[in-house]
Structure 1
Amino acid sequence: MDINAERPKVRLLLDEVQVSIDELQNQAFQYKSFQKNFKVEVTKYEALEELSAEVKLKQLLWDSLEEWDALQAGWMECKFEELDPETLSAQVNKYAKCVNQLEKGLPPNSVVPRLKEHVEGMREKV
């Protein structure tokens, strides 16, 4: 959750964590089906669900940052007449909603404010 972190390493780590979470969720599903078959109380794996949601938000954050930087670079390199205002506005709004979701779902960090600053800057220009 540090803006100065190496993006490829962060994304690789998040992908590895997601694989582990997927394996744990599969095990949890099996245990739940066993519990249903034996007609016992079905365990809720709340910590696993919370972890999964947090990792998904972090993946969304880093993916959005990468995608935004690529979009912005493309916009800066292309001729102004070639920009489609409707597409540009839709993309800016999409990332503004994403930033809002990330602000609500993640603890304070240095990455979300940077993404927000870039998105808000482009929103003002649009």
Structure 2
Amino acid sequence: MLDGYIARKYDKISEFGKIIDPLADKVAILVIILQLYRHDYIVPLYFWTVILRDLLIFTGGIIVSQIIKKVLPSNLLGKITAFSIGLYLLLVIIGLEITLLYKIVFYISLLLCYLSLIGYAVRAYESIKWYKRNEAV
């Protein structure tokens, strides 16, 4: 979040940054979540939900970028979802698995994963539709 804020504040946003920043974030989450899963700290449902969501969003982003000739930046729902994933992983790492807060963040984070995936799919569809309609003009 900090690197995105700094890039916007100093007007240092680039097409390369729009690609590499979320990719770096996804790789970091992948490494953390993989280690937690391997050591049985997180359940398979959570592991696969996050992994498949990120894989689908990343792959879809590449496809959409090829079609519309630009990179779609992340949206607010995606940022909130990433924050909820980070918060959940932090709660796991510091050992708060038996608390009510842990359960609440777990379910909210899962729900946000599904909602953000749907949101990205709708946004991709709308962007492609808009691009094709305006490309013909």
Quickly name the TM-score band, shorter chain normalised: 0.3 to 0.5
TM-score by length of 1: 0.37
Higher relative contact order (CA 8 A, sep 6+): 1
Query: Which one has a bigger Cα radius of gyration?
Result: 1
